[in-house]
Amino acid sequence: MNYLIYFDESNKIDQFNKQYSYYGAYGELDTSLAVIVEKIRKIFKSSGSKSELHFTEYTKDRHIKKYFQALHTAINENMRINILIVNNQDALASAAKIGLSTQELRNLFYIKIPERLSYGLTRDLSHLDHAIQLVQVKIKIDKNDEYDRIKLNEKLVEQMNAHSAYRNKNYRILKAISQDSKKSIPLQIIDTFMGIVVFLLEKSYMEDTDIAAIKSDLIYRFLIEQDNLLKFQKQIRLLEWTGSE
């Protein structure tokens, strides 16, 4: 059984004009993801658009049908997303207590956060059929030079497999790789859903701008369709970093 995890982030800890940074992991069986990807590729083709899904770049409503259909398709495939919310000032204050620089904090968080989010998806795979089998996991991370510099991929494999062995789990991380989101629909999916969550949490819909109105319209149309709101609440798990783990 093969399981895939996709990791992305929004904002950075040292982005001082932002109060929070956000980190998300999206997990699903490779067979299920293949179905989702094929459906969304057909949506791209029918809409005549080859551009990637990217919530920050959704500033005009000419692609509303494409975004709406892609979001609706993904949420109705029983997706699982974990999103960790970090108060940047709290994190920086915690680092200062032990004499860590901002760069050192970022390096450590960039290893620890993907590991925690990925472990959260793999530690309980009881929702999968035949979960007693060995689950082989591949992790794909949105390409980032900082991740490469700190060798995140190899450290993530090492720590996740240590968790599995120590806690007697039934998964093994085969590899973690960097991937360009332009070539990865699952990374585009996590980016778009994270963008929606950030937009709602930061109450950006209150802004009196055309872009805020356009994004709000998309989110409203998506959430009121059928039972998408309930699925959104059920399938996207929000976690808050408190420094107490």
Question: pLDDT tens, 90-125?
Answer: 888 888 999 998 888 888 888 889 998 998 888 766
For 193-222, the DSSP string reads HHHHHHHHHTTGGGS-SHHHHHHHHHHHHH
C-alpha to C-alpha distances, 183 to 119, 143, 215, nearest whole angstrom: 25, 11, 24
In this prediction, residues 132-156 reach a mean pLDDT of: 87
**Residue pLDDT, tens place only, 130-141:** 555 788 999 999
**Beta strands at 135-142 and 80-87: parallel, antiparallel or unpaired:** unpaired
Q: What is the pTM of this model?
A: 0.91
Quote the pLDDT of residue 103. Answer: 85
Nearest C-alpha neighbor of 140 from the set 239, 11, 28, 55: 28
Quote the pLDDT of residue 50. Answer: 78
Map residue 170 onto helix, strand or coil.
coil
In this prediction, residues 209-230 reach a mean pLDDT of: 97
What does the alpha-carbon distance between residue 79 and residue 232 come to, in Å, rounded to a whole number? 9
User: Residue 56, Cα to own-chain centre: how many angstroms?
Assistant: 15
Q: 214: buried, middle or exposed (CB in 10 Å: 19+, 13-18, 0-12)?
A: middle
In this prediction, residues 76-84 reach a mean pLDDT of: 92
Name all domains of the chain by residue range, CATH numbers in brackets.
2-240 (3.30.420)
Quote the pLDDT of residue 240. Answer: 92
Q: Tokens 């990807």 identify what position?
A: 37
Question: What proportion of the chain, given as a percentage, has pLDDT over 90?
Answer: 59
List for the chain the helix, strand, coil content (%; round to 5): 55, 20, 25
Packing angle of the helix pair 185-201, 30-47 (nearest 10 deg): 80
User: Residue 152, Cα to own-chain centre: how many angstroms?
Assistant: 16
